[in-house]
Structure 1
Amino acid sequence: MNTQTADPLLGSLVDGRYRIRGRVARGGMATVYTAVDERLERTVALKIIHPAQVRDAAGQAFSLDRFTDEAKTIARLTHPNVVAVYDQGTHAGLPYLVMEYVRGRTLRDILAERRRLSPVEALALMEQVLSALGAAHRAGLVHRDVKPENVLVAEAPSGGGQNLVDAVAKVADFGLARAVEASADDPSGGQLMATVAYVAPELVTDGHADPRSDVYSAGIVLFEMLTGRVPYDGERPVEVAWQHVDRDVPPPSRIVAGLPPVLDELVASATRRSPGARPTDAGALLSAVQAARESVTQNTNAATQLLRPVAQDTVVVNHVVPSERPSWARLPGAQPAPRSRRRSAAPAAPVGLLEQLKQRYQRTMADPRGRLALISGAVVLALLVLTGGWWLGWGRYEVTPQLMNLTQEQAEATLRAAGLQVVYGDPQFREDVPKDVVLVQDPPPGERVLRGGAVRLILSKGAERYLVPDVSGKTWDLALTDLQAEPFKFKVVKAGERYDDLIPKNTVLDTDPKAGTEVPPGTEIKVIVSKGRAPLTVPFLEGKSLAEATKTLQEMGLRVVVERVQSDKPYDVVVKQDPPNGTGVEKNAAVTLQVSDNQSLRAMPEVRNARCGDAEGLLASMGLQVEVRGVLGDKNWFKVVNQDPQPNTPVQQGQHVIIDCQLG
């Protein structure tokens, strides 16, 4: 079933320029569409933030100003291995980014198909990923979510089939990155959770990220490309995340035998648990990857030379020239290896040096003025040592004040009074602590901190609540996807079905709680879906007699409920019906008929084909003056062939009516 048909954005025109043609992917924060820029006549990718992520400014996580600032920063990041950003704006209140459309597959799709890559292919793709990340790091950006899903791979123009050495890789989703300066200085920045399979240890322990966090994630991606799996797994995401903190990444050769040792060293260097032990940024790791690729390529070529049979006229060349690299991946000119230097032996102390020092000390102590100068110098030196020791050990520190359970304003005022700065970590949800109250401080109360230094605070976000999204009109599958998307933590159940004349089958009619209701995580969302149109259709009954309408409904298997109402219509004539005609209903459903109770005005009944005597009796019982024509003898031998007035014509008591009879 194609769930895209229910997407209201398909076919719409954004900003009078971008015509949405199809949906590419949907994530927890945004949906990516393909669109045509009708002004420039080119295909682009349009990324639109989900409505649930766009909250009011009263303490919510999303900031349109931050989104705009980041879009401008990313647009300035021009690199052949970075998915370019062309434009940004809002559509129907939803922020969007217009990006380069890459015709290819994600690295995740390739790994799902091939499981793992050859070392040369893995290193070739990793060089391009690190080249993109290096450009971002130089611009002050940290990606924070490097994973195969965010690496797009396009086949080289020359083709190449399954060989990815010449493929082009582009890093996407820099739209969720934050500037390094902003992540450290802006307390209102939204929380960005990296994928747990690739998350750096420092993001798990304290939420801090810098270029070395991207280096760690890139190392995990390289591990997966070489082995076909990630290093850690677990039943819950939190278990996987903490394994990055507690365990070292195993060597790839432990999973895939025969991998060169240089690859084990490369993965180990990039995935050190301590950020300080890793390469400083993606550019530093890129140099190591390029060197490793040269080594692996040369070893591969050398092995090929050994296996190739030597013909009679073949000349064996020991030196193998590696394949030419693109300009963005060329290594700098080879530098000669530094010569090992031996430390030269220290020159021998001059003969008699100790004796000369001894003699000078004796001359100084023999002179009173020299002795006083020496003692004064020793006292000054002792004072300097004591003062320096006090300053280094105690004087340059302040005692961290108690900030726990204070509001943000109170904590900032307390730190200003103590001459200290404040930095903020990512806020956390707490049911029992109001919003903007201090949950954690580092250093703790009473610990020492450098004068003028910073105290790191983590504030409460208050009780964790989410707005139930509006999924009415969507198919059950698409509604389930929306309700289970991040950051929602709902329990979604299909609570029931009911017939609906207008809504197609398996389409959401309503939810309980209603859309827009603020609920805590774990809330059960009951979804009511349509069963489509009911099997029976209510006929048009207004203007018919009660007897005729009742007979029609009962033959259909429907129940009749009669309500008498005052009306100018004849007695026993149906004035109104509920449900109206054309409505779909189930068998044994009740149909309410409002019937006229006007005793003075009745509808002329249908008496044709009835025995003349019976017809005369019926009409007389209604208070009508009946004239019978054509009867000679017993009236029961005759039947009615015509009547005046015609059936259903209003008649009053005492009105003259005629029935024509003939033998039969």
Structure 2
Amino acid sequence: MDTQVADTLLGSLIDGRYRIRGRVARGGMATVYTAVDERLERTVALKIIHPAQARDAHASLPGFVERFTDEAKTIARLTHPNVVAVYDQGTHAGLPYLVMEYVRGRTLRDILAERRRLNPPEALSILEQMLAAIAAAHRAGLVHRDVKPENVLVAEAPSGGAGNLIDSVVKVADFGLARAVEASAEEDAAGPLMATVAYVAPELVATGHADPRTDVYSAGIVLFEMLTGRVPYDGDKPVEVAWQHVDRDVPPPSKLVAGLPPVLDELVTRATRRDPAARPTDAGALLAEVQVVRDDLGNASAATAVFQQVAQPTVVVSTVRPADRPSWARLPEAKATPQPRRRRAEQRPGALTRLQLAWRQIVSDRRGRRAVTAALVAVALLVVTGGWWFGFGRYTVAPQLVNMPRAAAEAQAARGGFTVEYGEERFDEKVARDVVLVQQPASGDRIIKGGKITLILSLGPERYQVPDVLGKTFELAQVELDSARLTVARGPDRFDNNLPAGTVVAVDPPVGTQVKPGDKVTVVISKGKAPITVPNVIGKNITEARAILQQLGLQAVESYVDSEKPKDIVLGQDPADGAGAEQGGQIKLEVSKGPLAILVPRVVDLPCQQAKQLLESQQLKVRVDFNPNGTVRYQSPGENSQVPPGTEIAIGCF
């Protein structure tokens, strides 16, 4: 069924002027029709935004229509033979439309679908004209944002030759249309409009930012496709393809099509650098490189260049000459230098050439000889001075910047008139962070005055924190510790009432500790809840504590320590009460030895007050009976008795 029958716009008169005759193509954003401008009686192309696209961009709001109108005016002022001209704009049934130049021909997508890929001369010829159009837009402050084969129209060659793409006229369409819709989408928080993912630049994916270098990247992808017959990345989902532009470098075309010249690999690589700063600054800069490459290929293939397709052993032979370009696309040709005619040695034997005669005339005169001598001396001085300058005079020695902090190194370089750039930083166990590790050229090496010194700074000792793996399975903990560049060791498993069996209950060193790469981290795994809960026996007599533990099937392991507590009282236990233990498990008990015993000294026959002082100095209490000012006649307990500290000693004084 002819789908055009259901198109209600066919036959419509737009704005009382444009009669729609047929539908050319339908894209994701708009539909293109052929129409007759009944006022000027000429065929035009009319592009009208889809209703769904207009709704998504809030086209019903006045702001969108105004932006679309402003973009149309800007493009209409963009006059260039390789840009599809915009004649008019307006709205029909609330949908914005553009009236453009009608180009008789095919899109580059149609050509690639038919031929799969192009030979280098054809690809470069098309790319040159594409870049000429985009460069004109860049000079006018416009960024295309959606450079792809569907937006490149290839008109019939002026020579009329079938399949002759070198002389074909190329025109680029859709300048500014994406920007107008994108601006409305951003205002309404719908996010930036993503260019076709096969050609999208990394910065447009990562940050949504676009500048002339974004178009340079897309043009490089188009060149890659023209040379190889495919785009560099594919995937199941558009977002997967888009992020490959961010994460991967575009491969050289010669990896897919054997025999392509290295200069084409270099051209694609330069245009598709992931870092925008490493690409040509705009389409004009890339155009200059393309023209140089095309001339180089033309000069190198004055004979014949043979390109063999990958899919089949068909050989395409083409002769490339700079003169094959259309006249408006050629670089200025150098004027031919006439070659002097050589005299034959046998002609007029013995006759002097004009140069010889002039030389004899000069050296025959004293003033002439002086002039020649002065000229030779001047030339010699220039040679010597130039040789000294280029060999020594323009050089100096690089300053010492290693082991200096960054700010000090920059100041030292600035005092010598040098500029500083930085290489990739690296870790060092002995040099602190932001201190210069390496400089190039090295200290004392020759460097041009005012030249550039590259510095590599230290990141300091390489340290990582022990990650928090508590509660994770051993397998997951091992993966996380391995990724932190740590060595994993498994310690003895233990019971834990809070974490299930098989999960990490402890690590040594603890979580958050700063460690070096390769350091060992011991992981303790839970055995689950223990079958026996350890009771609290602290404060009990050791005999009672043993009995309690034995009833539960646990074994007491005792150690005695000095303490002020009474003898045989349990002071501590390990594991603590509430912990888990297995049948027959050992419970370590810390038991008091009791207070230290004091040997009671002899105080009989000593004055009462002196005896009292002596006993109290031994941490004993004293009770004086009878006369406090008398002499001690007896003591209880007696001398050499062993008693605990604080024991009361009774002394009788008379």
Q: TM-score, normalised by structure 1?
A: 0.47
Higher relative contact order (CA 8 A, sep 6+): 1
Which structure is larger by alpha-carbon Rg, 1 or 2? 2
Q: TM-score, normalised by structure 2?
A: 0.48
